[in-house]
Amino acid sequence: MDRREFMKSAALTSAAAALAPATAPALAQPAAAKTFVGIQMDIGRILSDGVDRVLDDIQRLAHVNALFLYTITYMEERVHARTTAPFRGGNFATVHPQYYHDTLLKPEDTRSPYFPGLDILATVVPAARKRGIKTFCWIIEDNTLPNVPNMDKLWEVGLDGHPATRHPGGPCFNNPNYTNYLLGLVEDYCRSYQVDGIMFGSERQGPLGYSLGAYHNGARADPATTCCFCSFCESKARRIGIDIARVRQGYLALQKFVRAGRSNQRPIDGYYVAFWRVLLQYPEILVWERFWTTGQQDTYAALHAKVKSINPTLLAGWHIWQNASWNPIYRAEQDFAAMAPFTDYVKPVVYNNCAGERMISYLDSVGQNFQGDLAKSQALDFEYKVLGYNEAPLDKLAAAGFSADYVYRETKRTIDSLTGTRTQTYPGIDIDVPTAGGHSKCTPEGVRDAVLAAYKGGAQGVVLSRSYSEMKPENLRGAGIALESLGLA
């Protein structure tokens, strides 16, 4: 049975029968959801299935009323379309050059040539609006340097003086060529199409977290490539009185500490003490970390102001990297209360199923430096205590993933942080985010419980994630079942 046939039959019959609470109404017509139900939509499925078919399916299965459309990406795996031509990503909408100013990027160069004649927003927005479905332009920073003229001049420069070419380096928030380009891009989208707003995602962190490899898959990062030391950052630092020479010395000392740990050379006083010694000797390390984060947050604020200047009813919100679920330093930096004045909504990533293996990957990395004194199981206990989780022990974690309780706790933490503000919380729900073989996989019941947990935590909506093409229909249906059982659809 192929995917489409499966969607027609199994999702609406067996999954519903197995999952629907006894009191839930029979699913006849898709009901309009009484809450915000977003879904991250790749263009591949729209091209392969047709926009009406896709909208039919997501409404019927999960009562979706908002699309987060990947309108621009240079990464083939985010597009989910396969043709024989070599992939060239970029902007899948029409580029209107009049909205772009003061950037080295030529807007026409950012247009993807991969699907000639395609304008994804012109294709999707009118069809979605006809059904009362909102469309948000979903702009996520890519993980590798795209092959676009002058793009390299927007990217960060590492401690070693070499331009960054991949994550966790990326375009520099202190480089006006990048921020002006972003402002032009959102202006283009918001003025040229009847969209409902944007979501911007920056899955990166400052030089401290980068040097320590304090993120999942972080053990791969070489602290010598820590960013950013570009000329724009240096000029800004000088203007505000930061001693860039001391910053460099500090990061070189941190590099030495991390490299020794990666070679299993335990410091005489232990990892934790040695880490603090570096920080105390070079407090500029923290100054530079804050400098980077301020650049990121200032960019959020500028994007929000731009969107509101075009139309105050449009929404601007942020996808918050899941690193906040394991790295306490990053969590401290992503301060929702401080972000509220320039944030209409946040989408904290609470992908529970893949969180197990991601947490382990994080521990594998920081266990080679500032948490190196702890056994891995102790480091995990520390994480659970510090971050407020009650999840599986180390030996069962990869197979179990995180539970719906994690979704509840993270949603509640976000809601509590935003008390007294107008910022909405739409947690990102894991539906078949890929995991390694033998590790936890999503189920209809697991997705249902994650959605229920988000609402129990006070969420005003959800964003079904991370890409429609990855989602098995029966698992997507789990979200619909939860909404029905809550009386929200």
Q: Choose, by CB under 5 A, the member of 233, 303, 339, 479 that binds Zn ion.
A: 233
Q: Which residue lies nearer to Zn ion by CB, 139 or 230? A: 230
Name the residue with tokens 């970029």.
90
Alpha helices in 226-350 (DSSP H): 231-239, 244-262, 271-281, 284-310, 328-333, 336-339
Which listed range, 91-99, 229-237, 440-448, 467-475, lies at the site for Zn ion (CB under 5 A)?
229-237
For Zn ion, give the closer residue by CB, 230 or 433. 230
Identity (one letter) of the amino acid at 169?
Answer: G
Q: What are residue 134's DSSP bridge partners?
A: 66
Query: Is-contact 331 232, C-beta < 8 A?
Result: no
CA distance 52 to 389: 41
Tally of residues, the chain = 489
Q: Helix 352-366 to helix 376-387 angle, to the nearest 10 degrees?
A: 120
Q: Does 237 bind Zn ion (CB under 5 A)?
A: no
The count of chain residues that interact with Zn ion, using the rule CB under 5 A, is: 5
CB atoms inside a 10 Å sphere around CB 86: 7
**Residue 386 C-beta: closest distance to Zn ion, Å:** 31
- When the beta carbons of 227 and 442 are compared against Zn ion, the nearer one is 227
Name which of 294 and 443 has its Cβ closer to Zn ion.
Answer: 294
Out of 37, 159, 172, 407, point to the residue binding Zn ion (CB under 5 A).
Answer: 172
Nearer to Zn ion by C-beta: 176 or 458? 176
Q: Phi and psi at residue 104, in whole multiples of 5°?
A: -75, -15
The strand ranges marked E within 76-207 are: 90-91, 134-140, 197-201
Q: In the range 79-98, which residues lie near Zn ion by CB under 5 A?
A: none
Shortest distance (Å) from residue 156 CB to Zn ion: 5
Stretch that binds Zn ion, among 96-104, 171-179, 322-330, 462-470 (CB under 5 A): 171-179
Min dist. Cβ of residue 230 to Zn ion (A):
3
Under 8 Å between Cβ of 400 and 439: no
Per the CB < 8 A criterion, the answer to whether 382 and 363 are in contact is: no
Which H or E element spans position 9?
A: helix 3-9
Q: Considering only 161-169, 172-180, 276-284, 464-472, which stretch makes contact with Zn ion by CB under 5 A?
A: 172-180
If the CB atoms of residues 155 and 321 are measured against Zn ion, the closer one turns out to be: 155
CA–CA dist 411, 350 (Å, integer): 8
Nearer to Zn ion, 174 or 352 (CB): 174
Q: How far apart are CA 321 and CA 214, in angstroms?
A: 13
Q: Is 11 in the site for Zn ion (CB under 5 A)?
A: no
Interacting stretch for Zn ion, rule CB under 5 A, among 60-68, 230-238, 249-257, 271-279?
Answer: 230-238
CB of 203 to Zn ion, least distance (A): 17
433 binds Zn ion (CB under 5 A): no
Choices 11-19, 87-95, 228-236, 401-409; region in contact with Zn ion by CB under 5 A: 228-236
Smallest distance from the beta carbon of 289 to Zn ion, in angstroms? 14
CB 157 within 8 A of CB 227: yes
Q: Does 230 bind Zn ion (CB under 5 A)?
A: yes
| Separation between Cα atoms, residue 204 and residue 146, nearest integer Å | 17
| Nearer residue to Zn ion within complex by CB, 111 or 204 | 204
| 164 near Zn ion, judged by CB under 5 A | no
Residue from 228, 247, 320, 355 touching Zn ion (CB under 5 A): that is: 228
Footprint (CB under 5 A) of Zn ion, residues 173-192 = 174
| Residue (145 or 433) nearer to Zn ion, CB | 145
Residues pairing with 140 in the sheet: 201
Nearer of residues 173 and 189 to Zn ion, judged by Cβ:
173
Find all residues with CB under 8 Å of 390, minimum gap 6, and list them.
384, 405
- When the beta carbons of 230 and 320 are compared against Zn ion, the nearer one is 230
CA distances for 191 relative to 211, 309, 377, angstroms: 40, 11, 52
Q: Is 121 in the site for Zn ion (CB under 5 A)?
A: no
The residues, ordered by sequence, that sit 6+ positions from 15 with a Cβ below 8 Å of its Cβ are 444, 473, 474, 477, 478, 481
Q: How far is the CB of 333 from Zn ion (least distance, A)?
A: 17
- List interacting residues with Zn ion (CB under 5 A): 172, 174, 228, 230, 233
